[in-house]
Structures are given as structure tokens and as C-alpha cells.
């Protein structure tokens, strides 16, 4: 594929703007400045730099963001800045959107993509993609609360009980919850249903992905092909 077409496909502006980046010698491939828009490259996995920013070419982007507090998972936020502002313009130009949502005061692992099929695959309850949340509670956590969360609690918008796939106390006032659903404010409402109150909430795991090796809060990285394959693998039941 022509290099200017690769830049265009990755969200670096209009075709004219991409040609301008090349003409101004702002693009490097394998460390070498490339100024020819017609230079031909295999796009899949191509690594290059634009104005010093490293980039990997993916036909569909999937990125992992360590979401800090104070951002809304919306393209049209109402009260807080959009989490999309933490991403570089090319990803916003491509139309990436969050895979599910985290509240503005919730921190942790957030995936974003421009692949609608992948969003459905990762958010549909029937696929049982686990998400792990670290919960700071207002009141002490006891064995009965853990039992209820594992057995199932009733939320006010659904007569059927909603249960945690996993639940354990991690401290006197903290819980680790594993969920496969994605209902509105689900963790906070489940904790409230057992007589406690959520003071802090952090998503540490999404499927096979964790934040153990970064990125830092407010930073992002591409999800690798190997990680994507693990996300798509059917979890054991």
C-alpha cells in the first residue's frame, strides 16, 4: 500500500494532510525519513514514526488506556472531559470508542476500538468476558456480604438476581469482584444491595489483559495481536 494511504488509514488527516507530513519529512519508517507518498509498504504491523511519535499500523485499532478519575467515557461528555482527549488525534480521527464504560470517578483498564464487531464480542454477556474490580468500601466487609454477592442480589431495574463470578474480601473495607455483565453502575449498586457503599472503584483486569506492566494512569498503548487473540479466546466455564 502507498505510504500516504497508510497514513490516511491510520487517522493522520486528509490525504492532502498526509502528503504534507511526508513532504515536510516528518515520517520515518525503520528509522529512515520517507518523503515519497508512493513508497510501497506492507501495512499490517508496519511500525513507523510521525513527528517523533511511534505508531503501529492496524486495520482496526484496539488500545488499552489506564483511565484516571475525572473523565467521562463519552464522545459528548456532560460534566467532565471526555476520556478520548487522553488519546492522540489520529485515534480520535479514526472514531475509536470505549468498550463499555467506566464512571468518571472509576479508574483502571479501559479498552477502546474502532471495531464494532469486537465491541459486541467483548461486551455481550453471552461471551462471559470477565472484568475484575477492586472496590474500596465505606463499611467493613463481612462473610455474609461476600456470600450474597456470589449468590446474587436483586437490582431495582431487573427482577432477576445478578451475581458476581468471583468475590473476595481483600481487606477490612475492600473487595475484589469479578463480573461478566455490564449493567449501569453495576458494581456500586451490587455493593449497595448488600448494605455497604462503594468509596473507590478500579478495574484491574479485562479478560486476559491487566495493568501489571503499565501503562501509567492517563497513558495508553496498542493491544498486540497476541493479546487480542487471548481476548477473543473462549474462557473456560
Per-residue pLDDT tens for 138-168? Answer: 999 999 999 999 999 999 877 889 999 999 9
What cell was used for 117? 464487531
Q: Report CA torsion sign: 58, 122, 214, 70.
A: positive
Q: Give the dihedral of Cα atoms 18, 19, 20, 25; nearest 10 deg.
A: 100
Q: Which residues are within 8 A (CB) of 209 and not within 5 positions of it... i.e. 6 or more apart?
A: 64, 109, 111, 223, 227, 230, 231
Specify whether the CB–CB gap between 176 and 135 falls below 8 A: yes
Chain position carrying cell 455497604: 196
The angle formed by the CA atoms of residues 99, 102 and 104, to the nearest 5 degrees, is 140
Select which of 4, 36, 40, 103 is catalytic. 103
What cell was used for 233? 479466546
**What does the pLDDT read at residue 214?**
84
Task: Indicate if 225 belongs to the active site.
Answer: no
Residue ranges of domains in the chain, CATH in brackets: 3-56 (3.10.290.10), 62-125+208-232 (3.30.70.580), 130-206 (3.30.70.1560)
pLDDT tens for 75-97 read 888 899 999 999 999 999 999 99
The angle formed by the CA atoms of residues 190, 192 and 193, to the nearest 5 degrees, is 65
pLDDT tens for 191-218 read 999 999 999 999 999 999 999 988 999 9
Segment 54-79 shows an average pLDDT of 94
**DSSP conformational letter for 40:** B
Amino acid at each position: 500500500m502507498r505510504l500516504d494511504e497508510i497514513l490516511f488509514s491510520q487517522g493522520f488527516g486528509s490525504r492532502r494532510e498526509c502528503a504534507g507530513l511526508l513532504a515536510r519529512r516528518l515520517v520515518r519508517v525503520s528509522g529512515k525519513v520517507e518523503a515519497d507518498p508512493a513508497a510501497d509498504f506492507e501495512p499490517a504491523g508496519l511500525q513507523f514514526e510521525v513527528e517523533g511519535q511511534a505508531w503501529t499500523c492496524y486495520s482496526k485499532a484496539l488500545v488499552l488506556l489506564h483511565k484516571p478519575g475525572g473523565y467521562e467515557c463519552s464522545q459528548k461528555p456532560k460534566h467532565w472531559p471526555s476520556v478520548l482527549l487522553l488519546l492522540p488525534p489520529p485515534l480520535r480521527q479514526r472514531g475509536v470508542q470505549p468498550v463499555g464504560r467506566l464512571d468518571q470517578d472509576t479508574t483502571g483498564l479501559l479498552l477502546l476500538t474502532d471495531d464494532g464487531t469486537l465491541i459486541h464480542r467483548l461486551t455481550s454477556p453471552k461471551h462471559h468476558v470477565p472484568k475484575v474490580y477492586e472496590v474500596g468500601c465505606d463499611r467493613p466487609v463481612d462473610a455474609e456480604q461476600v456470600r450474597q454477592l456470589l449468590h446474587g442480589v436483586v437490582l431495582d431495574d431487573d427482577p432477576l438476581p445478578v451475581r458476581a463470578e468471583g468475590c473476595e474480601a481483600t481487606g477490612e473495607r475492600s473487595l475484589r469482584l469479578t463480573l461478566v455483565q455490564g449493567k449501569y453502575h453495576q458494581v456500586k449498586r451490587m455493593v449497595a444491595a448488600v448494605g455497604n457503599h462503594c468509596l473507590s472503584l478500579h478495574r484491574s483486569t479485562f479478560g486476559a489483559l491487566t495493568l501489571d506492566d503499565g501503562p501509567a494512569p492517563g497513558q495508553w498503548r496498542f493491544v498486540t495481536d497476541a493479546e487480542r487473540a487471548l481476548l477473543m479466546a473462549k474462557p473456560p466455564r
